[in-house]
Amino acid sequence: MSEDLRAPVAFTVMAVLLAIVGFTQSWSVSLSVINLCIISSIMAIGVNLQWGYGGLFNAGVMGFTALGGLTAVLVSHDPIYEAWDKAGIGIVISAIIFVLSITTLLFVFRNIENKQIRNTLIILIIVFGLIGINNFYGPSIDIIESINPAKTGFLGGLGLPIIFSWLIAAVVAGLVAWVIGKITLRLRSDYLAIATLGISEIVIAVVKHEDWLSRGVKNVSGLDRPVPYEIELQQSEWFLNLVERINFSKLEAMQSLSSRQDLLNDLVIDSSGIFVKLCYVGLFFSVLLLIFYLSQLALNSPWGRMLRAIRDNEEAASAMGKNIFAQHLQIFIIGSAIIGIAGAMLTTLDGQFTPGSYRPLRFTFIIWLMVIIGGSGNNLGSIFGGFFIWFIWIEAEPLSIGFMNMLAGGLEYDNPLRMHLLGSAAHLRLFIMGLLLLLALRFMPRGVIPEKIQKK
């Protein structure tokens, strides 16, 4: 198939698959899948910028997603004034000590030549920094966590609409990426992967265990929504009218008034769920389009050409006077910021922040699959990869249960082998993912929608 045709065909197939889910399961399920598909696509674009265009293997996708999620909480949750009054000062002081120790450490490390003096100073700073932080930090977090622990027990957020958090998440993720990039980007590619993998684990550890900041594994739920609630919709006049108008013929067919009223009630409840999901689809899709448009613009600019030049031949680009490290840092920050946005969107969609749910398999490696199978270096490919892989990830479970049932067809109902087969069906999806990745790497190494080779 010609490469120009691949993208339309791939997206048509995807649309058909989603429509099949809509008709066979329900539109509500299909829309939930689409929402997560869009978020995955955004993450995939972020990774694609780093890998496809910059050649950087960032295995810390999970960390940036979690940072985005944390930002969503910190922006949208109401501030807990009591906690701030009683212990805010302690936290602020320990934060100041922390920043001061780090900056003096860096200063000492860079400016003092004598090794002996340098090492003593470093040890002194670390010891005094730790003592100072422990003095303020420990007591303050005890106070914060004791204030209404069942409901809050943390400092709360800014109380702004959650939609702002998407932008702020980009800034936060970008800042963290800047620090991480400074440390790791001078390393060879697979070191970078290992280092980022580790750093993302550190981020998760912090989010999980610093209860004063994020409530840790106690989760934050009930975040506010950028879209209306179902219950509000069900009570509003215009929505009732809308549902009535859309389903006019169905309702007309009803004989009695009461059965007509019952049907209308059911329809309103169903439609309100679908309406909310459609709102999310609209919001997310506009973000996806915007990010896609901007990335395309950037990548077709001289800047994008330079990045590809660096990716394809670092030495040559360096000889032409390009600063490899600075460019890598830039693209690393931009990609991570996009992942951060997606993380905030994900938490917005869930309406809750659950640090325990961040696992590297789900949030790092699956995203990688999307980029590689979709076609690294091509943003459309990443979008397709995001849709396709997420779809498979979700639908693999019912399919594998069906498959296992077929395998165990001849066996008795309570046969232990049958029970085992059905019980392990969920693990088949890992197998499918691995197999897809290996097959793609072997037979379609450039992905479903490959990068366009630009000829003069």
Partner 1 sequence: MENFEFINATVLLANFVIVPALSYGSQLALATLSLTIIYGVLRFSNFAQADWMSFGTMATILFTWLFQSIGITAGVLPTALLALPFAIIVTALFCLLIDRSVYSFYRKQKSQPIVLMIVSVGVMFILQAVVRFIIGPNDRKFFDGEKYIVHALDFKNYFGLEEGLTIKSTQLITVIVALIAMISLFYFLQKTKLGKSMRAYSNNEDLALLSGINPEKIVIVTWVISSILITTAGVLYGLDKSFKPFTYFNLLLPMFAAAIVGGIGSPIGAVIGGYVIAFSEITLTYAYKKFFVYLLPENLEPSGLMQVLSTDYKFAISFIILVIVLIVRPTGIVRGKII
Question: Would you tell me which residues interact with partner 1 (CB under 8 A)?
Answer: 57, 130, 134, 138, 183-184, 186-191, 193-195, 197-199, 201-202, 205-206, 208-209, 361, 365, 368, 372, 423-424, 427-431, 433-435, 437-438, 441-442
CB of 448 to partner 1, least distance (A): 16
Question: Which is closer to partner 1, CB of 31 or CB of 404?
Answer: 404
Q: Closer to partner 1 at the Cβ: 8 or 139? A: 139
Minimum distance from residue 86 beta carbon to partner 1 (Å): 20
Identify which of residues 299 and 369 has a Cβ nearer to partner 1 in the complex: 369
188 vs 455, beta carbon nearer partner 1: 188
Question: Which lies closer to partner 1 via its Cβ, residue 151 or residue 427?
Answer: 427
Tokens representing 455 are 């000829």
Q: Rounded to the nearest whole angstrom, what is the least distance from the CB of residue 176 to partner 1 in the complex?
A: 13
Cβ 189 to partner 1, closest distance in Å? 5
If the CB atoms of residues 442 and 456 are measured against partner 1, the closer one turns out to be: 442
Q: Considering the complex, what minimum distance in angstroms separates the CB of residue 190 from partner 1? A: 4
Which is nearer to partner 1, 243 or 370 (by Cβ)? 370
Phi, psi for residue 221 in degrees, rounded to 5: -120, 175
In whole angstroms, give the CA distance from residue 422 to residue 136. 54
Minimum gap (Å) between residue 294 Cβ and partner 1: 27
Residue closer to partner 1 (CB basis): 23 or 109: 109
| In the complex, minimum distance from the CB of residue 101 to partner 1, in angstroms, rounded to a whole number | 14
For residue 328, give every residue at least 6 positions away whose Cβ sits within 8 Å of its Cβ, in sequence order, or none. Answer: 54, 56, 181, 185, 310
Minimum CB separation of residue 278 from partner 1 in Å reads: 34
Q: At its nearest, how many Å lie between partner 1 and the CB of residue 400?
A: 10
| Smallest distance, partner 1 to C-beta of residue 202, A | 4
Min dist. Cβ of residue 137 to partner 1 (A): 11
Give the angle 59-62-68 at the CA atoms, nearest 5°: 130
Question: What's the rounded Cα separation, in Å, for the pair 250 and 260?
Answer: 9
Based on CB atoms, which residue is closest to partner 1, 19 or 183? 183
Strand partners, 79: 156
Looking at the Cβ atoms of 12 and 119, the one nearer to partner 1 is: 119
- Which three-class secondary structure string do you get for the chain? CCHHHHHHHHHHHHHHHHHHHHHHCCHHHHHHHHHHHHHHHHHHHHHHHHHHHCCCCCCCHHHHHHHHHHHHHHHHCCECHHHHHHHHHHHHHHHHHHHHHHHHHHHHHHHCCCHHHHHHHHHHHHHHHHHHHHHHHHHHHHHHHHCCCCCCCCCECCCCCCCHHHHHHHHHHHHHHHHHHHHHCCCCHHHHHHHHHHHHHHHHHHHHHCHHHHCHHHCEECCCCCCCCHHHHHHCHHHHHHHHHHCHHHHHCCCCHHHHHHHHHHHHHHHHHHHHHHHHHHHHHHHHHHHHHHHHHHHCCHHHHHHHHHHHCHHHHHHCCCCHHHHHHHHHHHHHHHHHHHHHHHHHHHCEECHHHCCHHHHHHHHHHHHHHHCCCCHHHHHHHHHHHHHHHHHHHHHHHHHHHHHCCCCCCCCHHHHHHHHCHHHHHHHHHHHHHHHHHHHCCCCCCCCCCCCC
- Closest to partner 1 by CB, 279 vs 407, is 407
